[in-house]
Structure 1
Amino acid sequence: MQPESEKYEEETPSLHWGIDPVFSAFAKLYIKDITEMRESKQVPGIFFYNGHPVRQVDVVGIVVQTKERDAFYSCGVDDSTGVINCVCWKNPMVAETPLSGHPSTPSSLSVFEQMKKLQETVRQKTKLEIGDVVRVRGHIRTYRQQREIQAPCFYKVDDPVCDVQISRMLELPCLYREVYDKPFKGPEEIQSEKRWDLEEDLGLSGLEGQNFSIHVLHEKVQDFLLENKIQTFYQQELETVDSLVSLASVHL
């Protein structure tokens, strides 16, 4: 679960969100955390858990309320940590009029029957009733000041002995420990860690480490000037050299 003090951390710039794999994945979070995550001030529909940008989630829970409409189910899903409303959109191919007609050949009859069976299977797997175990994958949004999941992908889970629910219950603590509860680190923090790791490997710290960094950068600048036969230059010109700027960001 997300510590109270970390719910209001500074936002990572949106330019860096793609670096975090959580941003592109369907995050397997507890419903309690989904309902409590803070929405981004930069981009609506993006939420933050411990600095990780989250836009889509994967939830397994029990249907505790449901309303069926022509195009979707609106249902409450409970995972024992909280309840969230899920708008589960029906497959338009299944929602349409059932297959009908008279196949002209035996081979087309076989295909026709298989398609009817497939359509019926999909219809049964996506017909939601109270008490069903359901898996929902979709985007988070805030609607009428309430958090909900817009789910184009959902299905009933056949779980007579609770295997799926127990598996999810064991999986989530590991994901939280190894991924979600470890703060997201932007490029600047990563560069800073590289610099400190280098100084620690060399047994340097404090002023010694800073002097070493300056010495390394000084040598690289000299090598660059000699290699390119440059005799006069401005500092601003060196700041356009990617290799030197990258080195400076690591060492200084």
Structure 2
Amino acid sequence: MQSDPAKYEAEMPSLLWGLNPVFSAFARLYIKDIKEMKESKQVPGIFFYNGHPIRQVDVVGTVVLVKERDAFYNYGGLDTPCSSDLVEQMKKLQEEVLQKTKLEIGDVVKVRGHIRIYREQREIQASIYYKVDDPMCEVQISRMLELPCLYREVYDKPFQIPEDAQSAPGGLNLRSSIDLLGEKVKDFLLDNRIQTFYQQELETVDDLVSLASQPVSRTDSKQMDSKSEPSSKLIHSAFKEAIKVLQEKGVVFQKSNSPEDVYHVTDQDKELHNMTLHVVKADCRKPRHAEKGCHFLHILRCVRQSYSPYLSEMVMHHVLNLLERNSDIVSTMEGYYMAF
């Protein structure tokens, strides 16, 4: 039985979704549009706005309904003797957690998460949420000014497949294979908690090499004669392109501008995490940062001075998002961060 091709005509093929940067971002949309987006017929749980595949969103709104439920906080070790200072610190931490997570009707909250359908109702399954202290409505006004620009520059413009993807050897199939290889390399690095690596080390992993060889089989048959490059060089090139994709996303980085230098895995670089957190904590104590927090560009500049001048903005965004997910910092308004 053949599927009806008409039902897919409004959707980009799922293999190409990774080429659209909106797919990997927390899309900042009006709630009205989130409610009206069409769900993908190819992959349930993915929604489309004007041709952009969206799987996770970032919203700020007012609490209109609160479902009361009991919460249990287990910090561990409280049933054993401990110092009074430690008990006091834990009490303060518990109070702060309760203050940030206990919601009342009328509170302004920021929510990030995935869209899902539950009991035939569309909702956001929150991966992170917190109450926004916004007595002067600065956060909401900032967002009201930001959203029209995002719609004008991104969401209301139909996504165009990059020219380099169309003109690459093997066309879109090759580009999709490189993106897929990049995702598999990312999974391999994170699953094995790898902190640093050289490209040559990845080329010894059989599963990755097998995947990297697929673009070779899709290249024009004229390139596969006796005068063509050896497969090993083409595989090496595929790994190089896949790592470049991960660098552009901030997943991996190098501390120097030498292509032969070791690669660092952003998620596993505790030194970078701690340095970034230290910058935010130290500067938030200063009067000029005490109210709004530290701006992204200020944090980036400080970390570059202390850690590496070649650190990209995407890596810094990635680190700040990790720290925010771990509740080490919180974004007070667009581009500003404050430590707890």
Q: State the TM-score, normalizing by the size of structure 1.
A: 0.59
1:28-49 per-position Cα deviation (integer Å, ceiling 9, x unaligned): 1000000000101111100011
After superposition, the Cα gap between the structure-2 partners of 1:189 and 1:144, relative to the gap in structure 1 and judged at 3 Å, is: farther
For residue 64 of structure 1, what is the aligned residue in structure 2? 64
Q: Secondary structure at the match of 1:65?
A: coil
Cα distance per residue 1:189-236 (max 9 Å; x no partner): 9648xxxxxxxxxxxxxxxxxxxxxxxxxxxxxxxxxxxxxxxxxxx8
Q: Is residue 96 from structure 1 mapped to residue 80 from structure 2 by the alignment?
A: no
Return the structure number with greater strand share: 1
Say how many residue pairs are matched: 167
Do the aligned residues in 2 keep the contact of 1:103 with 1:109 (CA within 8 Å)? Answer: no
Tell me which residue corresponds to 1:203: none
CA–CA distance in 2 between the matches of 1:114 and 1:26? 34
Q: Which residue of 2 aligns with 1:49?
A: 49
Match of 1:11 in 2: 11
| Deviation at residue 9 of structure 1 after TM alignment | 6.4
User: What is the CA distance between 1:115 and its match in structure 2?
Assistant: 2.3
1:121 counterpart (96, 101, 124): 96
Q: CA deviation at 1:109?
A: 3.0
Partner of 2:32: 32
- How is 1:179-218 mapped onto 2 (pairs within 5 angstroms)? 179-186=154-161, 191=166
Distance of aligned partners of 1:187 and 1:174 in 2 relative to their CA distance in 1, 3 Å threshold: closer
Which amino acid is the alignment partner of residue 114 of structure 1?
Answer: Q
**Residue type at the aligned position of 1:24:** S
Counterpart CA distance in 2 for 1:45 and 1:53 is: 10
2:147 to 172, 188, 196: 172
Identify the structure with bigger relative contact order (alpha carbons < 8 Å, sequence gap 6+).
Answer: 1
Q: State TM-score, norm by structure 2.
A: 0.45
Structure 1 pair 116–178 and aligned structure 2 pair: CA distance change class (3 A)? same
What is the match of residue 92 of structure 1?
none
1:45 and 1:69 map into 2 onto residues whose CA distance is: 27
SS at match of 1:22: helix
Matches within 5 A, 1:87-166: 95-96=72-73, 100-101=78-79, 103-104=81-82, 108-166=83-141
Residues 1:238 and 2:213 aligned together: no
2:122 counterpart letter in structure 1: R
Task: Pick the structure with greater CA Rg.
Answer: 1
Shift, 1:177, TM fit: 1.0
Q: Which residue of 2 aligns with 1:233?
A: none
Q: Aligned partners of 1:153 and 1:38: how far apart in 2?
A: 24
In 2, distance between residues paired with 1:129 and 1:9? 44
User: Matches of 2:75 and 2:104 in 1, distance apart?
Assistant: 21
Structure 2: give runs of 5+ residues left out of the alignment.
Answer: 1-7, 168-219, 230-340
Counterparts of 1:189 and 1:13, CA distance in 2: 18
Q: Please, what is the CA RMSD of the aligned residues? A: 2.7
SS at match of 2:136: coil
If each structure's helix is expressed as a fraction of its own residues, which one has the higher value? 2
Q: Residues 131 and 182 from structure 1, CA distance in 2 versus in 1: closer, same or farther, beyond 3 angstroms? A: same
Helix, strand or coil for the counterpart of 1:172? helix
Name the CA distance, whole Å, in 2 between partners of 1:171 and 1:150. Answer: 24
* Conservation of the 8 A alpha-carbon contact between 1:62 and 1:133: yes
- Tell me, in whole angstroms, the C-alpha distance in 2 between the residues paired with 1:163 and 1:9: 42
1:113 shift after superposition: 1.7
